[in-house]
Chain A
Amino acid sequence: MSLQPLLEVRDLDVSFYSDKKAIPAVRGANLTVYPGQTVAIVGESGSGKSTTAHAIIGLLPGTGKIVGGEIIFDGKDIAHSSKKGFQALRGDQIGLVPQDPMTNLNPLWRVGDQIKEALVANDIAKGSDADRRVLALLEEAGLGDVERRARQYPHEFSGGMRQRALIAMGLAARPKLLIADEPTSALDVTVQKQILDHLDGLTDELGTAVLLITHDLGLAAERADHIVVMYRGSIVESGPALEILKNPEHPYTRRLVSSAPSIASQRLSSVKAREEVRQQAVQTAGEIAAEIATAEGVVGKGENEIIVVDGLTKVFMLPGDRPWRKTELRAVDDVSFSLRRGTTTAIVGESGSGKSTVARMVLGLLKPTAGTVLFDGYDTAQLKGKRQMALRRQMQPVFQNPYASLDPMYSIYKSIEEPLETHKIGSAKEREAKVRDLLDKVSLPTSLMRRYPNELSGGQRQRVAIARALALEPEVVVLDEAVSALDVLVQAQILELLNDLQAEMGLSYLFITHDLAVVRQIADDVLVMQNGKVVEAASVNEVFDNPGESYTRRLLDAIPGRDLLTTA
């Protein structure tokens, strides 16, 4: 192996300027990449990992500037290259696979033409020669039927196929270094595994060095030789991948290793803690159920299974190929399950599996085509008027996107108070006391009350959303990908909060997620869905230790970094 580094970043400082004030984004970053090597930069959002990558390829946004240090690529300092200099470098020296496959292809251009542009712009090939190269590149990226694919438009591709096309584009001019900025974060785990496996093979074959930017420590450890951990713009720890994972030394890295669900979910201690939570929750729930059975004004018979879903089916009618024809889309097909009081049932599936549609039907936000949802013994479809309002009180949702699930025009106080106001509960004074109490429950300072959602971080917003859901003292909370959009550390905190609340209030959770790794930390029962059907339903331990279906096994295998700590 040649000992000449391909890329050396020395004491790199990057600042963003707003209102003439410099805000440092990267401080004194050092990293080295050797030819053919894979190096990963790991960090949360805002850690400066993407900024470092963009500085290397000269794609900092207009307000960003390299204020110090050097970037030595192939023996030359490129930190202060001109725009032209970077243009010459990009493509044939340094390639880029961007983050979001959905927005990084021009929707008006055929996929083949976009790859061809990469060839022509770098003077690799022209005309019909370029057309032949495009087909070869698409084939290389693992797309079949390439002649047809090259003539298709991006909207005809799935997310995974688009990412393959972007990889073909990034590698079109055979760069020495490929920067992959969260290349698979938007994709399902099984697709992610396929794409990364393919990328690994391809870069090995071509001898391309890869700088992988990711938030997922498990993924980084699995794919990279060398890991660089960034926190708040600085590198806090770097070293050989496995070593970092096994003996993290910096407190931040330790925190990261212990929170990453893909790795942490292997720990038995969390399972044991979970067991205690469960027992307490079931006990509390039992007491509540006994109360409900005799109380007035609530829907419920105090049954042990609080939600029973039977034969739930949803068919969407989509416009067909003629105006008068419709095609059927069976989003949810004959799904049955039950949720026991005080426990958590997780519905796991990839995008398009129908898991969110099930959640919306359980919540009564969507009318099922067939099948029934029983809430504590009552058919939710039969409830009208007052009883339906009462049902709404007893079942509350928390959604995925913490940025979209709070009304931006409502202050935090108003957001949490709204459910109380809608149901005309208490006087203004009592409501305020209740809101304070709820904020306390989700560990937010009451000083946040008068603030607006845009002033809060993602994790804080999700806490507010949970507080709002708890305002009506529900028995069931439907968590639709409620932690998926959060950074790992925040995610771990929210999961812990949910566990605590369950123990304290005897809540039952219906937990919708695409991330099997998270399931072990929170769920008791698991439902694995694929294409609208339930393929496996069992307890968490059964699913993890002894998966019955090949699809479940595929999902488990795709969890990045899963075996790194147990086998090594």
Chain B
Amino acid sequence: MPKPTLPGQERYVAPIDETPLAAVDSVQVDEAPASQWKEAWKQLRKNPMFWVSSVLLTILTIIIIAPGLFTNADPRFCELSNSLGPAEAGHPFGFDKQGCDVWARTLYGARASVAVGVLTTLVVALLGGLTGALAGFKGGLSDTFISRVSDIFFAIPLLLAAIVCLSAVNNWFPDRGFWGGVLAVVAALGLFGWPQITRIMRGSVLEVKNYEFVDAARAIGASNQRNLWRHIVPNAISPVIVTSTVSLGIFIVAEATLSFLGLGLPFSVVSWGNDISSAQELVRSGTSLNVMFVPVTALVLTVLSFILLGDSVRDALDPKARKR
């Protein structure tokens, strides 16, 4: 029963030269192939966030290695006669209440603050990443055990727990020196900081575990260990990288808070936290903003550069995020 053709629905065939047929399923392979690292570097180079953060972090690294390059003043040479003195030659940001050079203290303080931030982040990422990966991969009893233990630690507020731990440590070892002080803070923050990473890693592994490429690897005879470390973890790690770079800032701030409470680094250690805490009183009484401004700015810039760097490195290393 042929129906009459309606206007607008006549038979139409496009001229062939207008829509040339490509080979079925072709994808252009024009650029020269690059290795993963080259590809990541190409990606990074284009990212202004990466440049800003890496320049800032390079400066920070130089400051940590050789703070003396940027100032001639001694952070521990304090004269009360200089108390709250204004800026003068060789002392660009003036003096704090004790008469110490603000700029020098901030430069020398970077070492302790960054050490606490980086070390705590590493401890937390390792502890949380391992436990999370095991819980997600093994499932069953190990999962239940790890998850419940992490829930218990999760329920305890980070700062409160660190305060309790550190005040005990302060009682037993009142004078711990630089590394003793730093490690005590790292241990306290690390002990209570990992459950967050555990949860993230566990969820991420649970998702990746179900992908078919994991089954394919099992079918070629790859062991569980190989599967976990070569296939699952690399694909599951990127949320951990992001959370870790953000929490790096949080840990530096936590150190500052603890030091402010007099529990973090011993007062003999020059650190941003100690400086900010002692400057707090001056801000409250309205005496001087300047003394607080310098270490706070340093803290903010450091935290920000770590976050930006983490973000851009993750984007560059993840081939999934790379677009053609």
In the complex, how many angstroms separate the beta carbon of A456 from the nearest chain B beta carbon? 6
A238 sits at the interface (CB 8 A) = yes
**Bound-complex Cα distance A364 to B219 (A):** 8
Q: Does B220 contact A472, Cβ atoms closer than 8 Å?
A: yes
Take A236-B19, A454-B319 as given contacts and tell me if A490 and B24 are in contact as well, using a CB distance cutoff of 8 Å: yes
Given A232-B19, A235-B12, A250-B14, decide whether A454 and B220 contact each other with a Cβ distance below 8 A: no
Is B34 part of the binding interface, using a Cβ–Cβ cutoff of 8 Å?
Answer: yes
Interface-located stretch among A370-378, A388-396, A526-534: A388-396
Contact B11 A240 (CB under 8 A): yes
Interface size on B, residues (CB 8 A): 44
Let me know if B221 and A393 touch, CB within 8 A. Answer: yes
The residues of A that contact B231 with a CB separation of less than 8 Å are 407, 409-410
- A residues less than 8 Å from B284 (CB atoms): none
Stretch at the interface among B91-99, B108-116, B209-217, B291-299: B209-217
Q: Is B222 an interface residue, CB under 8 A from the partner?
A: yes
Q: How many residues of A are in contact with the other chain, CB < 8 A?
A: 73
Q: Does B221 contact A457, Cβ atoms closer than 8 Å?
A: no
Q: 8 Å CB contacts to A: which residues of B15-38?
A: 16, 18-19, 21-22, 24-27, 29, 33-36
The answer, yes or no, to whether A460 is at the interface (CB within 8 Å) is: yes
- Asked if A493 CB lies within 8 Å of chain B CBs, one says yes
Q: How far is the CA of A566 from the CA of B323 in the complex (A)?
A: 46
Residues of chain B in range 229-260 having any CB-CB distance to chain A below 8 Å: 231, 234-235
Highest count of chain A CB atoms <10 Å: which of B9, B11, B16, B215 = B9
A455 is an interface residue with CB less than 8 A from chain B: yes
Known A-B contacts A407-B235, A408-B235; the reply to A457 vs B27 at CB < 8 A is yes
> Given A457-B25, A490-B24, A493-B25, are A392 and B221 also a contact pair (CB < 8 Å)?
yes
Residues 382 to 410 of chain A near chain B (Cβ within 8 Å): 388-389, 392-393, 395-397, 399-401, 404-410
Query: Secondary structure of the B side of the interface?
Result: loop
Report whether B19 and A396 are in contact in the complex, using a CB–CB cutoff of 8 Å.
no
**Cβ distance A480 to chain B, nearest Cβ, rounded Å:** 9
A234 touches B19 (CB 8 A): yes
A468: interface (CB < 8 Å): yes
Does A13 sit within 8 A of B, measured CB to CB? Answer: no
Q: Are B319 and A399 in contact (CB under 8 A)?
A: no
> A226-B9, A240-B3, A404-B212 known; A419 and B235 CB under 8 Å?
no
Chain B residues with CB under 8 Å of chain A are: 3, 5-14, 16, 18-19, 21-22, 24-27, 29, 33-36, 211-213, 215-222, 226, 231, 234-235, 319-320, 322, 324
For the complex of A and B, 3 pairs with smallest distance between CB atoms: A32-B8, A450-B33, A239-B11
Interface residues of A (CB under 8 A from B): 3, 5, 8, 30-32, 34, 225-226, 231-232, 234-240, 243, 249-252, 255, 360, 363-365, 388-389, 392-393, 395-397, 399-401, 404-411, 418-419, 422-423, 445, 447-460, 465, 468, 471-472, 487, 489-490, 493
List 14 extra interface pairs beyond A8-B8, A458-B25, CB under 8 A. Answer: A231-B21, A234-B14, A234-B19, A237-B14, A252-B19, A364-B219, A389-B221, A396-B219, A404-B212, A405-B211, A405-B216, A423-B220, A423-B221, A452-B36
